Chain A
Amino acid sequence: MSLLEIKNLHASVNDNEILKGIDLTVNPGEVHSIMGPNGSGKSTLAQVLARRESYQVTAGSITLDGKDLMAMKPEEAACEGLFMAFQYPVEIPGISNAYFLRAALNAIRKYRGEDEMDAMDFLPLLKEKMRMLEMDERFLNRPVNEGFSGGEKKRNEIVQMAVLEPRLAVLDETDSGLDIDALKIVAKGVNAMRSKDRAMVLVTHYQRLLDYIVPDFVHVLVNGRIVKSGGPELALELEQKGYSWTEGEMAGARR
């Protein structure tokens, strides 16, 4: 069974239709990349998947592992194995990274009927994941994302993903704003998470990310629709020809 099944998805923000009929199937073990110009609806798709309430789904269906994602609250989606790395991670002063992440992990474990993890067991796990993302241990006790640089915030998202071990990870422009060194570190972390049970959806504006995380499938999103799908070579083609190339394709797709 596919892990994520999106059928004819239409979604609006403030009565503005952004997604105009998306179909996408993601199977366990696959990495899909969604590319597209600014305003094409990439981030909206990510937010809808994470169940942000300000995005209204007006038509279509989404299932996560066969279950109706549209019926889930954000926390239920997370507990069912969905994780979104935020394009703009939120700063939460007053709560340490370690406290926050342990609370999150335990919420998910509890939902699955597993024992909660105490601080003694949790800290080594978190430290290991932070080492993988080359984050200094002092970030353990720093308030969540507060005063982090852009790159540190993005790495912190991947640390969270590594700790929470989702079945489906949606990375919303995780590469934006990263320098090449940070990008390599993030890619290394993401690649280490690839497995036959886990799927990933990389939402990105730039082909550069795909040099380091090679996807199985690339989809081009323009004006709320997927206008072209293919293998990794599609990303290169897009890089050479630019997004304007797809606009002609879109006209073709409409027929």
Chain B
Amino acid sequence: MISAIQAPEKYLETFETSKSRSGSQPRWLQALRQKAFERFSDVGFPTTHDEDWRFTNVSAVSGTSFELAEPITVSGEQLQPFGVSQFACRLVFVNGLFAHDLSTVGSMPAGVKVGSLAAHIAAAPEHVEQHIGRYLSIERDAFAALNSAFIEDGIYVEVPAGVAVEAPIYALFVTVPDAAPSMNHPRNLIVAGENSQVTIVEDYVSLGEGTSFSNTATELIAGENSHVEHYMVVREGEKAYNFSTLRIQQGRSASVATHSLLLSAALVRNNVHPVLAGEGSECLINGLFMANGRQHMDNYMLVEHASPHCDSRQFYNGILNGQSHGVFHGRIIVHKDAQKTDAKQTNRNLLLSDDAQIDTKPQLEIYADDVKCTHGATIGQFDDNALFYLRSRGLAEAAARHVLLLAFANECLDRMNSPQIREHLEKLVVAGMPEAATFAGPRSGEGAERNWEEMG
């Protein structure tokens, strides 16, 4: 537990820096941050002895001294390669801080608030106070505590009751690595009122190479009968660590879809934690992770059914190449009162090389007696029959493999509602796909396929 002792000392200084940088935050926020920092200091970073972190070693993060990323200006031109200018509503954050000049909100229906959390804390702190830190527990996770200790800026979206926001709200988080390892802790708050509708994208990118640590947290409050679609994209640099927590609180009959697309970073931990608190709510938890080289991508799902008649659907597909390591941990908790729960979980993985690795773990805790929970996982290679079928129609072997990869990715992309975002993300997926020529596919044929499916 060396890291647990060391961590606070390294972070105390940056915590003080952060406090003085964010200046005159309201007292309640200062108190929240202080409490979160104390919590982090108490528990420190998790180790692989912790069941929730069994497959992911965070020593690369805990063993590095990160400076708080400096405010920095980047030009619109520098952002061109990220291809997000097509989105009418764009929020750009650089090193965790809102970049006003690079952002454009466009026209929004009356009453909708879209912009920077820091600005909204300054302008209408009581709105923020109502929600922030209310659902994201600093007790559960050290990284959530660390994020809360450094609350400064991030997305703020508030959609009043009955309002539908048509255009997706696209937030680009740009990390600009410094000579020394740097970190940022974006904190996002999305409040969708009763009967409202909104689509939000968080896209994490790096501008340049260098060691960086993005530790983000998003609280998404979906009011009664609201429809919210959330996208999380990670395409950071080769020395970037990206940790994120999406905490969703769903009201009665609220429908939420969360899509994760993990394309690159040295180490990714993707926590998705919906609580189906209102009766009749439903949640789609959809994801695709593609790891190359020595990348490590860990997906930790915690789906809590807290009310009757709620549906959750988890679909995660992993494509693992090189010596990469993927993790899917799918935990479902069905609370005592959550009768008629219908929870489904599917994790499918494609291993493209003999050295790639996947750990997949379902974890069902059911305290109600009238529920339907199913989970299943597959780990395998290309289906020889499908490969032969494609080749017999004239596609060269490499092209046939490419088509099958695309098909596998499409299973996830096809669940996305917004055609504009889907098209944009498909381009990223295709660009991020391993060149068919670079993987021959494992030769270990028989016994390589593993499947399991259970009903509970």
Contact = CB atoms under 8 A, between A and B. Distances in A.
A94 B409 CA distance: 7
A47 to B, nearest CB: 9
A93 interface: yes
Nearest to A107: B394
A200 interface: no
Nearest to B404: A92
A143 B406 CA distance: 12
Contacts of A51: 392
Interface string B334-352: 0000000000000000000
Contacts of B390: 92, 100, 104
A95 interface: yes
A164 B385 CA distance: 20
A89 B386 CA distance: 9
A164 B404 contact: no
B411 A78 contact: no
Contacts, number: 76
Interface string B381-422: 001011011111111110110011011111100100000000
A160 B414 CA distance: 24
B268 to A, nearest CB: 23
Interface string A158-170: 0010001000000
Given A90-B386, A94-B411, A94-B414, A100 B394 contact: no
B386 to A, nearest CB: 5
A31 interface: no
Interface in A40-57: 50-53
Given A74-B388, A92-B389, A94-B410, A100 B403 contact: yes
A164 B395 CA distance: 12
Contact of B393 (A78, A93, A94, A111): A78
A75 B395 contact: yes
B407 A94 contact: yes
Interface residues of A, number: 30
A94 B408 contact: yes
A201 interface: no
B385 A90 contact: yes
A79 B408 contact: no
Given A73-B391, A86-B389, A95 B403 contact: yes
A213 interface: no
Contacts of B397: 73, 75
A107 B403 contact: no
A103 B411 contact: no
B407 A78 contact: no
A35 interface: no
Contacts of A133: none
Nearest to B396: A75
A93 B407 contact: yes
B414 A74 contact: no
Interface string A100-141: 110111011001000000000000000000000000000000
Interface of B: 383, 385-386, 388-397, 399-400, 403-404, 406-411, 414
Interface of A: 50-53, 73-75, 77-79, 83-84, 86, 89-90, 92-95, 100-101, 103-105, 107-108, 111, 143, 160, 164
Given A78-B391, A86-B392, A103-B395, 17 more contacts: A75-B392, A75-B395, A77-B392, A86-B389, A92-B389, A92-B404, A93-B407, A94-B406, A94-B409, A95-B403, A100-B393, A103-B399, A104-B390, A105-B394, A107-B394, A107-B396, A143-B407
7 contacts: A75-B392, A78-B391, A78-B392, A78-B393, A92-B404, A100-B390, A164-B394
